[in-house]
Amino acid sequence: MRLITTNKLTVQHGRQTALHSVDFHIDSKEIVTVVGPNGSGKSTLMRTLVGAIDDYAGSIERKARLSIGYVPQKLDIDRNLPLTVERFLRLPHRYSRAEIDASLAQVNGADLRDKQMIALSGGQFRRALLARAILGRPELLILDEPTTGLDQSGSANFYKLIEEVRHAMGCAVLMVSHELHVVMAASDRVICLNGHVCCHGTPEVVANAPQYQALFGTGSMGALALYRHEHDHSHDHPHIHGAECDAKCDGTS
């Protein structure tokens, strides 16, 4: 089932065009990753999809009553404000203790409930954000750079956790990441953005696309293959998606 479709989505920040004529969709239970260089409009796309930016041209269609859990790229917690993880998870909705415990357990964070938000490590903080995003049992989880601040093994573990959450909750996952080889291997589809959609398709198709290689070089393909080989046992790729690349696009915005 289609959850969100955009048609010629265009977003300006002042005179800067952050997104230009972006056609995008995500279906239920898919893992879709958006990659692109700094400033290529990835966060703008996420923020527009969740409704945080409502000044755009083109159209966005959302499934009726679509519930979205969103983890923003950055979240500053006031260091002067005492805020436990439990209280953080209760903002802005009042969830029960049982719901909060279940959500924390889902992200392997049962021990975090009474800790202060500002005392969490990078990985614990990311798990608390994820726990909050899944509290409403969303059909679509949107994660903007979910492993910011984590080291390589912390990131790999976090992506594994995201796959587990997706599996347990049956939600679709849309994420932005810089960690090309790790995240692409775990995705059903990859969208390479540079203000516009440069190319899109399965991870292998995107990694081989000249538009992608013009932006990121060819180095990540070996890492992608390596990761696939090493982790074949733990990934489930039931979908076969068509290979689609925009041959007209030259990889610049």
Kindly tell me which residue out of 2, 8, 13, 239 binds ligand ATP, with binding defined by CB under 6 A: 13
**How many residues make contact with ligand ATP (CB under 6 A)?**
12
Q: Which is nearer to ligand ATP, 10 or 116 (CB)?
A: 10
Nearest approach, Cβ of residue 40 and ligand ATP (Å): 4
Strands 31-35 and 172-176: parallel
Nearer to ligand ATP, 36 or 251 (CB): 36
Establish if 187 lies at the interface with ligand ATP (CB under 6 A): no
Question: CB-based contacts of 233: which residues, under 8 Å, 6+ apart?
Answer: none
User: Does 96 interact with ligand ATP (rule: CB under 6 A)?
Assistant: no
Residue 44 makes contact with ligand ATP by CB under 6 A: yes
Pairwise CA distance, residues 50 & 143, whole Å = 11
DSSP string, 32-68: EEEE--TTSSHHHHHHHHTTS----EEEEEE-TT--E
3-state secondary structure of 27: strand
| 14 touches ligand ATP (CB under 6 A) | yes
- Candidates 42, 132, 189, 200: give the one binding ligand ATP (CB under 6 A): 42
Angle between helices 122-134 and 97-106 (to 10 degrees): 120
**Interacting residue ranges for ligand ATP, rule: CB under 6 A:** 13-14, 16, 18, 36, 38-44
